[in-house]
């Protein structure tokens, strides 16, 4: 419903809103919308340009329902008889609270008032909103809050700052807590989403490199009588410590080349898990590390870098730089 509300430039002045809320609605309960409009215009002519926006606003904050073009007042949220003085109505929290509650229900509080647009002066106990950080799309909502006195231009700072009237500070603190929570969750969600995306890309790149090596091995051993036995096992056996099983040469009868595939982009670097290192150590000369450069994976006649017994040639070789990615910590 917010998108429908934002189509209206005029959501009513303070006087127009008070007239509709306290003069028109109480005597027009369950009346046709057009009848209410005629009554309002006959008493406050300026409402002719803002009436539809006012009705959509009151519908948005659930003060009214429009059923079959008939206005139905929701007295659970707004009962005109429960307010002694209509002139002080907007100083109270009822309207403002329902307004921000409705924004919150539509997950739009942070779209209207970004947390970065807010400031607080502890000495004066004042909250400020940077006007230039309110999206143009929501200017009608900003104007509404100006009209009813929730905010006002602050002449002490500059024309870009709106100050929240202090009698609304407690209500605004609730809004601020929502904004802080939204921003925190947004950062967390972005982090999780980014991690998932990184893992997905890593999996795709790893699979592409493994399929490249599978084809490379099948081509290398094209004349082997058991060529079809060469296979990629990484999906089925995730803890095997290697990705493919192949033959060392055309004379081998049993699978005796166990291949771990690592891909890189330009600079040679890769992660080697504790399990993979242990298996490489145990299999020794039967374990092969294939390093695939993603920049050349589609080049004709490209061959990966191949290391037999990588535990000995790499892990125990001082020319290869090893860095610890994480530590296991335990209490003795």
Per-residue pLDDT tens digits for 8-48: 999 999 999 999 999 888 876 677 889 889 999 999 999 99
Give the pLDDT of residue 190: 59
Give the pLDDT of residue 188: 64
Answer yes or no: is pLDDT of 191 > 70: no
Instruction: Place 330 in a pLDDT band, splitting at 50, 70 and 90.
Output: low
Domain 200-315: CATH architecture, name and number where available: 3-Layer(aba) Sandwich (3.40)
Instruction: Place 246 in a pLDDT band, splitting at 50, 70 and 90.
Output: very high
Express each pLDDT in 148-188 by its tens digit: 999 988 877 566 888 999 989 998 899 888 888 877 776 66
Instruction: Place 102 in a pLDDT band, splitting at 50, 70 and 90.
Output: very high
Give the residue among 48, 125, 135, 64 at the shortest CA–CA distance from 98.
64
Express each pLDDT in 199-235 by its tens digit: 788 889 989 999 999 999 999 999 999 999 999 998 8
CB 187, CB 117: distance < 8 Å: no
Express each pLDDT in 287-324 by its tens digit: 999 999 999 999 989 999 999 999 888 776 666 766 66
Beta carbons within 10 angstroms of residue 47's beta carbon = 25
Give the pLDDT of residue 66: 87
The pLDDT of 107-133, averaged and rounded, is 86
Name the residue ranges covered by the structural domains of the chain.
2-164, 200-315
* Average pLDDT taken over every residue of the chain: 87
Model's pTM, two decimal places?
0.58
Instruction: Place 114 in a pLDDT band, splitting at 50, 70 and 90.
Output: confident
Answer yes or no: is pLDDT of 271 > 70: yes
Distance of CA 282 to the CA centre of its chain: 46
The encoded tokens of residue 104 equal 């919150």
Give the pLDDT of residue 13: 93
Give the pLDDT of residue 157: 59
Q: What percent of the chain has pLDDT over 70?
A: 92
Query: How buried is residue 277: exposed, middle or buried, by Cβ count under 10 Å (0-12/13-18/19+)?
Result: middle
Residues 109 and 95: their CA atoms lie apart, in Å, by: 16
Give the pLDDT of residue 158: 62
Q: Which residue has the higher pLDDT, 306 or 327?
A: 306
Query: How buried is residue 219: exposed, middle or buried, by Cβ count under 10 Å (0-12/13-18/19+)?
Result: exposed
The encoded tokens of residue 111 equal 């779209």
> Of all residues in the chain, what percent are helix, strand and coil, respectively (each to 5)?
50, 15, 35
CB 18, CB 86: distance < 8 Å: yes
Express each pLDDT in 140-150 by its tens digit: 999 999 999 99
Give the pLDDT of residue 203: 85
What region, left, alpha or beta, does residue 324 occupy, with left being phi > 0 and alpha being psi -120 to 50 degrees? beta
The pLDDT of 230-258, averaged and rounded, is 91
Give the pLDDT of residue 122: 85
């Amino acid at each position: 419903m917010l998108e429908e509300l934002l189509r209206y430039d005029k959501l009513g002045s303070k006087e127009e809103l008070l007239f509709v809320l306290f003069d028109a609605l109480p005597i027009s309960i369950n009346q046709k919308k057009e009848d209410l409009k005629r009554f309002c215009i006959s008493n406050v002519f300026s409402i002719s340009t803002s009436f539809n926006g006012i009705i959509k606003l009151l519908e948005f904050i659930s003060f009214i329902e429009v059923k079959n073009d008939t206005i139905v007042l929701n007295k659970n949220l707004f009962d005109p008889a429960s307010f002694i003085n209509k002139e002080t109505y907007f100083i109270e929290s009822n309207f403002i609270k329902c307004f921000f509650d409705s924004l919150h229900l539509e997950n739009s509080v942070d779209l209207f008032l970004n947390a970065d647009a807010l400031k607080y002066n502890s000495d004066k106990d004042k909250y400020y909103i940077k006007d230039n950080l309110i999206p143009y799309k929501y200017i009608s909502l900003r104007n509404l809050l100006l009209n009813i006195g929730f905010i006002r231009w602050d002449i002490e700072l500059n024309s870009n700052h709106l100050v929240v009237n202090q009698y609304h500070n407690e209500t605004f603190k609730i809004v601020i807590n929502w904004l802080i929570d939204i921003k925190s969750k947004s950062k967390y969600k972005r982090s999780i989403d980014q991690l998932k995306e990184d893992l997905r890309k890593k999996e795709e790149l790893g699979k592409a490199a493994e399929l490249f090596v599978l084809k490379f091995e099948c081509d290398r051993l094209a004349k082997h009588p058991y060529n079809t036995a060469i296979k990629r096992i990484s999906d089925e056996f995730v803890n095997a410590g290697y990705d493919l099983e192949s033959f060392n040469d055309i004379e081998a009868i049993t699978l005796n080349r166990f291949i771990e595939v690592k891909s890189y982009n330009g600079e040679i670097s890769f992660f080697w898990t504790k399990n993979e290192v242990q298996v490489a150590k145990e299999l020794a000369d039967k374990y092969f590390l294939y390093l695939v450069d993603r920049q050349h994976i589609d080049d004709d006649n490209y061959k990966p870098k191949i290391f037999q017994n990588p535990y000995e040639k790499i892990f125990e070789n001082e020319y290869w730089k090893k860095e610890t990615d994480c530590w296991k910590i335990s209490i003795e």
